C-alpha cells in the first residue's frame, strides 16, 4: 500500500474511532500535515531501542569519531568499524527547480 493510501486509511480509522466517519477528510489533511512535519523532522533512534528494518544507508551518531555524525550501511549489521549509538534515515535529496540544482 502506498504511503498516501496508508495515511487515508489511518485517517478513516481515527475518524471512525471517534464516531465522526463523515469528517475523515479533515482528519486526513491533519495526518498529511503531520506526515510532512515528521518527514522534515526525523528523530534519532537508539540502537538499544530499535535497528533499521531495511537495508540501506543511514545517518549515524558515533562517539568514536571526531565529527560524531557519519553515514553507515545497514544490511543486518552495521558496516562500520566504529561504535554506533543512534541512527536515522537519510533525508531526501534536494529537488531540482527550473533545471538548476537546489544547492
Q: What is the pLDDT along the chain (103 residues), one digit of tens a residue?
A: 666 777 777 777 777 776 665 666 666 677 777 777 666 667 889 999 999 999 999 999 988 766 688 899 999 999 887 889 999 988 877 777 765 555 5
- With respect to residue 96, please indicate whether it lies within any of the assigned structural domains: no
- With respect to residue 71, please indicate whether it lies within any of the assigned structural domains: yes
State residue 12's pLDDT score.
73
Positive or negative: CA dihedral 8, 11, 17, 19: negative
Residues 21 and 56 in one domain: no
Q: How far is CA 41 from CA 24, 36, 38, 88, in A?
A: 25, 9, 5, 11
Residues 53 and 83 in one domain: yes
Residues 53 and 85 in one domain: yes
Domain range spanning residue 68? Answer: 45-89
- Alpha-helical runs (H) found in 18-57: 24-40
Residues 29 and 49 in one domain: no
Q: Cβ distance 7 to 28 under 8 Å?
A: yes
Residues 7 and 35 in one domain: yes
Residues 58 and 71 in one domain: yes
Q: Nearest CA to 56 among 87, 101, 26?
A: 87
Amino acid at each position: 500500500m502506498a504511503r498516501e493510501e496508508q495515511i487515508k486509511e489511518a485517517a478513516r480509522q481515527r475518524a471512525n474511532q471517534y464516531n465522526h466517519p463523515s469528517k475523515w477528510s479533515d482528519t486526513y489533511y491533519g495526518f498529511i500535515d503531520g506526515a510532512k512535519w515528521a518527514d522534515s523532522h526525523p528523530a534519532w533512534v537508539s540502537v538499544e531501542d530499535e535497528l533499521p528494518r531495511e537495508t540501506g544507508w543511514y545517518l549515524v551518531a558515533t562517539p568514536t569519531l571526531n565529527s560524531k555524525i557519519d553515514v553507515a550501511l545497514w544490511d543486518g549489521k552495521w558496516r562500520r568499524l566504529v561504535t554506533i549509538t543512534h541512527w536515522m534515515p537519510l533525508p531526501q535529496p534536494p529537488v531540482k527547480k527550473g533545471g538548476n540544482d537546489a544547492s
